[in-house]
Amino acid sequence: MPSVGELWKEVFCSYTKDLSRIREWADSVFKSPDESLEIARKLTRAYGRFPDAITLGFSPQVLVGALALRDNIIAVTSPEVWRGEGQGALSKALLDAFSDRVRVELAPFAPSSATPPDEVIRGLREVFGKLKEEGVKLLDISGGTQLVPIAAILAGFRSFSYAYPDGNFLSFYEFEIGGPWMESSRKVFKSVSLFDPDIAYALSDAMAEYDYLVVDREESFLVEDVSSADEWKKWLRNIFLSISLPQMLFSAKEELKGELRKHIRPLERELPNESKPHDECETLYKLCPEFMNMWFFSNMILSPKFSKEYLEELEESLCHTEELSNILNKRREKIKKLIENSDNFLILPQFGVGTHRISQIAKFVKNIVNCREKDVKILLGLNERLMDRHRCEIGKLRGELKKLKVEKIKVDVEDVMLDSDDEKLRSGSTVAFLLQDYSKELVKKLIDMGLTILVIPEVSYRCDEGGGRKVRAVAGYLSEYSGEELLEALSLKAGVVEGWSGSQESKETD
Amino acid sequence: MEWVAGVEGDGLKAYSGYIMPEFPRVFLLSWRGEPSPHERKFLSVLLNVMSGFTLFTESKSLSYADSVRILQYISNSYVIPFRFILGTVRREEKEHTRPDVIGQIHRKLKIPLAILEEPTSVKYCFKIEECERDTRILAIAFSSLFSSPMRMGGEIRQVISQLLLSLLSEVKGEMLSMLIEDTYGWYARHVKAAGEALASELRYLAVSLEERNIKEQLKRISEVLGRDSLSERVKGFIDVFGEREFLIGRLQQILQLLQSIGKTCIDEFDHVLTVATGQWGIAQALLLSKMTGAKRITCLYTQNSLWARLFEEYCRKELELTCNCYPEIKYLPISATDAVMIERTIYNVLKSIDERTLVVAQGPASISIPLYVSGRKSKLSSVII
């Protein structure tokens, strides 16, 4: 007689078609649902968020797995399952066993002569639409027929999970599809700033800006919404960019057209019908303008021969607007708490970069201190070698920060020692601000001490509301932002690394 | 004119030289009769690499006029990381009335094309042989001499010198010597001579590129090149040129880091997860694979390392590096400053990763530090440079 563990491994953690074993397992769950959930919790794992709702077909394992992850679940199931017909009887039995934890929604799953596939999709879409309106975000689509995911996408779901057994666990894997890249073969982008990717960190501004970029499977083109005849010079700039640049067309008011034609013979095109850019594109601009620039550069400057093969990689990453927005929200909360609740700020400035940068670093430190209501102790990582080598810069930094409560921390970059000053870092909670780059050896030490590090980029792209350029290269370690704007800039741009002590690891090599 | 390098075939000849450090390099192209398929291949690889992958040429259809136009385009582009003055060879034309010849002469005179004599003395001269693979390597090595005096130009020299060190034969040894000599000789002076450069990112390039007298070192380099393994060659190179050497130094850092893991860990790994830096390329991939035993590498790249990624892929295909001798590489894009995208990408790449993975976190602190910590939290062996 096989043990309970073996039965779970065979039915819950592996694919099996042995109905008698599945029935045996379902019976055991039906008889003792709470104990079964205890076992299921040990054998279920999630890559990503837990699903809010599942689609339940003839495999009841997904229901038990979902309930192992969360207390309550919405199960969308078919009338056949609900009536307990045929193989649906097992799912029905477990729905009954967990009736206090499961809300059931009925929708057709399988086509029949009375309900053809398009009718099934319509029925499913209606139910999924209702769930979407209720705020269901993550739908598990591992149960039901192939029509289920089609209907879910049509209902507007973009975030899914899929449950699968891997021999040891039942795994729920979250993934996202969709966004403008999936929904439309034609993408329209408004106010496109194009930056030279390899000099992004050299404070470079945009090489070019275009009013519209239209990317299509059949054709790609730029549209310049001409407001002055003088803009003919923009055509000149294009000559020096790349032969792969999409054709530039113009749109202009009647009176300007004649003026423009005195200089060039451009092709004319009305502004794209889709001139209002997709909301998700706008969100992506805000969340990841640098990444968007890589996509623009690949589409506009590189030869299609070379970019075609990897554009899919980029586009796959850009299909996750919802996930990215969720990450931003969590980061916002986390950073706010870190700034408000820390007792010490350890500043790790880059030296050897010129005194003008030191002023920017000092301004950033002052701005970050001003984000708090309470006082905070500023600790400055220095050592004699640094003092000797960068006396002028360090003097300037200390001078500019003199109104703040600043203490020196002895940091020996060469030997990775923080000496007795370790205590200063351990007294109260400390958050370290690493300005662009620093000794990785020291960083490792801080990580081992469990400190949280915020990595502040010197230069980044920002997509800001309001006038002017849509996306700008912002230099100066985010020093131009203060107050709430600074907290938002940190949420978008600062790396947040929580320390991790070596004792928590099972396998560590360095 | 000082002619540093020449590549000579029966019909096609190409030379690289300079007048003084303040001027861009001179690219002299000579084309007589019908070039052989190998000569055309040389030219097409050269043009593809030098265009910064903004265009694609195929060897069959290239003509002299096309090549001149493409080189003119390359030398004028804002975005391509190669910089040179284009030159063509002076020809003794008999007086005649052929419109095509007259047209060609007139066009030459209307554009900033240097019209020069074919060099009689060239420091490093290579013949285009029948071996197609060597021809492609030669094109790649030759292209590096025209890299622009900016960070990416420096990285091109690093990646290509590392490539030559990793794929060794006698010819490539000569190519490597050429590149070393040119980098520490002309290029170092050229970077410093670009006054504007010193006010920008190039100050770092200028600082790292100390001019030096490398005659003695070059004499010893042939012995280094004779060593069997890539790691031995890297060690030997650093013995000759010193720690943190500009061209090969990154390989040395990776080598030291991998050695610090300890011998017991070598061959423990199936997979390496790393980040492409500006010096990412064939040599890094080979070193990571050979030192860890991993047959697969997942490489995160940003827009700053996009060229390096494209170049690695292009070289891998052109040099026909197969899975027998080269790891399988999967690329994933990441951003260097969009923290939200960084967090998502690292989370996703680690969430279902093979447990026999070594995380080699390098590159921007904004990526390498979170990757290093996340690797450790995922119970993976993790190192950071």
Q: Assign 3-class secondary structure to A60-90.
A: CHHHHHHHHHCCCEEEEECHHHHHCCCCHHH
- Which range among A147-161, A265-279, A462-476, B271-285 has the greatest average pLDDT? B271-285
Q: Is some CB atom of chain A closer than 8 A to the CB atom of B66?
A: no
Q: Which residues contact A238 (CB under 8 A, 6 or more apart)?
A: A208, A245, A248
Q: Is some CB atom of chain A closer than 8 A to the CB atom of B382?
A: yes
* pLDDT > 70? residue A409: no
Q: How high is the pLDDT of residue A467?
A: 62
Average pLDDT, integer, range B159-166:
96
Average pLDDT, integer, range B286-303:
94
Contact (Cβ atoms closer than 8 angstroms) between residue B297 and residue B360: no
Q: How confident is the model at residue A412 (pLDDT cuts 50, 70, 90)?
A: low
When mean pLDDT is compared across A145-149, A342-346, B41-45, the lowest value belongs to: A342-346
Residue A500: which of B54, B200, B377 has the nearest Cβ? B377
Strand order, beta sheet including A495-497 = A406-410, A377-382, A344-348, A430-435, A452-456, A495-497
Q: How high is the pLDDT of residue A407?
A: 73
> E strand or H helix at A347, and its extent?
strand A344-348
> E strand or H helix at A364, and its extent?
helix A355-370
Question: Quick check: helix, strand or coil at residue B313?
Answer: helix
Do A293 and B56 make contact, defined as CB atoms within 8 angstroms? no
Residue A287: which of B278, B341, B381 has the nearest Cβ? B341
Dist. CA A164–CA A281, nearest whole Å:
33
Q: Which residues of B322-354 are buried (b: 16+ CB within 10 A; e: fewer)?
A: eeeebbebebbbbbbbbbbbbbbbbbbbbeebe
Mutate to test the interface with A, among B337, B343, B348, B354 (most CBs of A within 10 A): B337
pTM for this model (two decimals): 0.84
Average pLDDT, integer, range A232-244:
89
* pLDDT > 50? residue B265: yes
Do A297 and B151 make contact, defined as CB atoms within 8 angstroms? no
Give the residue on B whose Cα is nearest the Cα of A207.
Answer: B78
Contact (Cβ atoms closer than 8 angstroms) between residue A344 and residue A430: yes
* pLDDT > 80? residue A415: no
Residues of A with CB below 8 A from B72's CB? none
Do B339 and A491 make contact, defined as CB atoms within 8 angstroms? yes
Residue type, A427: S
Q: Which residues of B216-231 are buried (b: 16+ CB within 10 A; e: fewer)?
A: ebbeebeebbeeeebb
Residue A457: which of B309, B343, B366 has the nearest Cβ? B366
Dist. CA B385–CA B374, nearest whole Å:
15
The CA-atom distances, in angstroms, between A456 and each of A483, B248, B339 are 16, 29, 10
Do B343 and A327 make contact, defined as CB atoms within 8 angstroms? yes
Q: How high is the pLDDT of residue B214?
A: 86
Q: How high is the pLDDT of residue B199?
A: 56
* pLDDT > 80? residue A501: no
Nearest CA-CA partner of A302 in B314, B198, B293, B299: B314
Residues of B with CB below 8 A from A460's CB? 337-338
Q: How high is the pLDDT of residue A398?
A: 84
Do B383 and A305 make contact, defined as CB atoms within 8 angstroms? no
Average pLDDT, integer, range A213-218:
81
* pLDDT > 80? residue B363: yes
How far is Cα of residue A330 from the mean position of the Cα atoms in its chain?
Answer: 11
Residues of A with CB below 8 A from B304's CB? 197-198, 200-201
Higher pLDDT, B192 or A3: B192
Tokens of A319: 């299909």
* Closest-CA distance of chain B to residue A331, Å: 8
Residues of A with CB below 8 A from B261's CB? 509-510
Q: Which residues contact A302 (CB under 8 A, 6 or more apart)?
A: A242, A244, B53, B54, B310
Contact (Cβ atoms closer than 8 angstroms) between residue A422 and residue A448: no
Residue B344: which of A313, A327, A505 has the nearest Cβ? A327
* pLDDT > 50? residue A416: no
Q: How confident is the model at residue A505 (pLDDT cuts 50, 70, 90)?
A: very low
Higher pLDDT, A410 or A246: A246
Convert the pLDDT of each residue in B98-125 to its tens digit: 887 788 788 888 888 899 999 999 999 9
Residues of B with CB below 8 A from A509's CB? 261-262, 265, 381-383
Do A240 and B78 make contact, defined as CB atoms within 8 angstroms? yes
Q: How confident is the model at residue A274 (pLDDT cuts 50, 70, 90)?
A: low
Question: Quick check: helix, strand or coil at residue A148?
Answer: helix
Q: Is some CB atom of chain A closer than 8 A to the CB atom of B306?
A: yes
Residue A328: which of B201, B340, B373 has the nearest Cβ? B340
Residues of A with CB below 8 A from B75's CB? none
Residues of A with CB below 8 A from B260's CB? 510
* pLDDT > 50? residue A507: no
* pLDDT > 80? residue B264: no
Do B201 and A201 make contact, defined as CB atoms within 8 angstroms? yes
When mean pLDDT is compared across A192-206, B126-140, B188-202, B295-309, the lowest value belongs to: B188-202
Contact (Cβ atoms closer than 8 angstroms) between residue A249 and residue A221: yes
Residues of B with CB below 8 A from A306's CB? 53, 56, 310, 314
Question: Quick check: helix, strand or coil at residue A503?
Answer: helix
Residues of A with CB below 8 A from B81's CB? 198
Residue B260: which of A240, A305, A510 has the nearest Cβ? A510
Do A508 and B376 make contact, defined as CB atoms within 8 angstroms? yes
Residues of A with CB below 8 A from B312's CB? none
The CA-atom distances, in angstroms, between B251 and each of A169, B6, B248, B384 are 41, 28, 6, 14
Convert the pLDDT of each residue in A29-61 to its tens digit: 999 999 999 999 999 999 888 999 999 999 999
* Closest-CA distance of chain A to residue B54, Å: 4
Residue B77: which of A197, A240, A495 has the nearest Cβ? A240
Average pLDDT, integer, range A64-81:
95
How far is Cα of residue A310 from the mean position of the Cα atoms in its chain?
Answer: 20
* Closest-CA distance of chain B to residue A287, Å: 7
How far is Cα of residue B321 from the mean position of the Cα atoms in its chain?
Answer: 17
Dist. CA B9–CA B4, nearest whole Å:
17
Residues of B with CB below 8 A from A455's CB? 365-366, 369-370
* pLDDT > 80? residue A326: yes
Interface of B with A in 189-218 (CB under 8 A): 200-201
Q: What is the ipTM of this complex?
A: 0.94
Residue A438: which of B345, B351, B365 has the nearest Cβ? B365
The CA-atom distances, in angstroms, between A239 and each of A143, A211, A242, B73, B82 are 55, 18, 7, 9, 17
Helix B282-292 vs helix B249-261: crossing angle, to nearest 10: 20
Average pLDDT, chain B: 90
At residue B257, φ and ψ (nearest 5 deg) are -65, -45
Q: How high is the pLDDT of residue A420?
A: 54
Residues of B with CB below 8 A from A443's CB? 365, 369, 384
CB pairs under 8 A between A and B: 200
Q: Tell me the pairing of strands B114-116 and B271-275.
A: unpaired
Average pLDDT, integer, range A182-193:
78
Residues of A with CB below 8 A from B200's CB? 202-203
* pLDDT > 60? residue A499: yes
* pLDDT > 50? residue A267: yes
Do A317 and B201 make contact, defined as CB atoms within 8 angstroms? no
Mutate to test the interface with A, among B74, B305, B340 (most CBs of A within 10 A): B340
* Closest-CA distance of chain B to residue A61, Å: 22
Do A444 and B384 make contact, defined as CB atoms within 8 angstroms? yes
Residue B352: which of A47, A491, A496 has the nearest Cβ? A47
Q: What would the DSSP string read from start to end of A282-338?
A: HHHHHH-HHHHHHHHHHHHTS-HHHHHHHHHHHHHHTT-HHHHHHHHHHHHHHHHHH
Percent of all residues in chain A with a pLDDT value above 90, rounded to a whole number: 47
Q: How high is the pLDDT of residue A200?
A: 57
Q: What would the DSSP string read from start to end of B91-119?
A: --PPP---HHHHHHHHHHHHTT-EEEPPP
Residue A317: which of B307, B345, B382 has the nearest Cβ? B345
Tokens of B168: 């060794």
Residue B337: which of A243, A443, A461 has the nearest Cβ? A461
Nearest CA-CA partner of A417 in A390, A378, A452, A448: A448
Do B373 and A497 make contact, defined as CB atoms within 8 angstroms? yes
Tokens of A190: 């408004």
Nearest CA-CA partner of B206 in B196, B220, B219, B218: B196
Tokens of A146: 């192939």
